[in-house]
Amino acid sequence: MPLEEAAGRMPGAGSRARRLRRAVFGAFVALVAVFGMTAGAGASATAKEPAEGPARFAPGFRHGKVVVEGGAVHYVIGGSGPAVVLLHGWPQTWLMWRPLMPELARDHTVIAVDLPGLGDSAVPAGGYDKVTTARRVREAVRRLGFDRVAIVGHDLGVLVAYPWARDFPGEVTRLAMIETPLSGFGLEELYGVSWHFRFNMSPAPIPERIMDNDDVSTYLGMIFDFSYRKDAVDRESYYRAYADPARRSAGYEYYRAFAADAENNKANAAKRLPMPVLGIGGQYSFGPGVADSFRQVADDVRTVVAPDSGHFVPEENPRFMADCASLFLGARTGTPPRPELASCAP
């Protein structure tokens, strides 16, 4: 739906639409810039993590799996205190959260999951719409003993976090949403920015037959070039994670469900989110566009622009992301130590 048409249907939505268009244009300019630059060598390779048992990236964390409808969900857990769930984006896995997890674990029980079908989670036969995915991840977290959580999501993880919070508002205390607008409320405006949207949404088996194992680093490397700090993303770990054709197909299925997600989101938009929402966009990517999208479905939305970051904020600027999340989640109080953190304070 064109933003002008959406604006005509919602009081005050015209200015939001204009801001989102500006954010989309800014994203396009940023993408043109990054494609004109030489790609970095990639983040340093780290030790491969197990699927179960003690984690290697930091002490005090452990891997496990919990069986839910659709198959086992892989998780990494550590720390103590109120629970915060970390939901990764595509084409990544829970690994993207490693720079933040030890910091957040000082005051929280941190639970990072691999979304169903990705990473070390089982590949479901179906159910890649975000309502079903949210219910599966929620079931996994509840089986771990947590029925009240804050959620931090990036990219695809944002799209899963929203129906979780919308449909179970009494169980979600806060949302920190990074680098994507919602389906039905702005995401469609980005389809022309990068061809990967339409490619991933193509009916099976079109992308499955076009993309083979030898193409993984080329294709995903293009996606990771949406970063501002190209050397910050641990590309090799993600190339390994998507070397399995079944994992790649699961990723496509998430995209193929975008149209159904948009319809569901619009049909349920009257269920406005009651909890505080932090909309975080990278300085060189979506900027205020994330918050503008969420203002259409939530009442308490704060805008944060992450400095020195493109699309992959948690890896490109982990110090800022850890400080911002800690403030927003209530682990730190008082005056924010830096002006760019002002909107992160609870």
Residues annotated as part of the active site: 155, 311
Instruction: Please name which of 322, 308, 324, 312 lies closest in space to residue 58, comparing C-alpha atoms.
Output: 322
Q: Which residues pair with 84 in a beta bridge?
A: 110, 150
Which phi and psi (to 5°) does residue 188 adopt?
-65, -25
**CB hemisphere CA count around 38 (13 angstroms):** 2
Pairing assessment for the beta strands 277-282 and 83-87 based on DSSP bridges: unpaired
Cα Rg of the chain, angstroms: 18
- What residue type is 309 in one-letter code? S
- Distance, in Å, from the CA atom of 268 to the CA atom of 218, rounded to the nearest integer, reads 38
Instruction: Please name which of 297, 302, 298, 343 lies closest in space to residue 320, comparing C-alpha atoms.
Output: 343
Pure H helices in the chain: 3-9, 13-35, 101-104, 130-143, 156-167, 196-201, 206-210, 216-224, 235-241, 245-256, 258-267, 289-294, 313-316, 318-328
- Distance, in Å, from the CA atom of 229 to the CA atom of 85, rounded to the nearest integer, reads 26
Asked whether the beta carbons of 345 and 323 are under 8 A apart, the reply is no
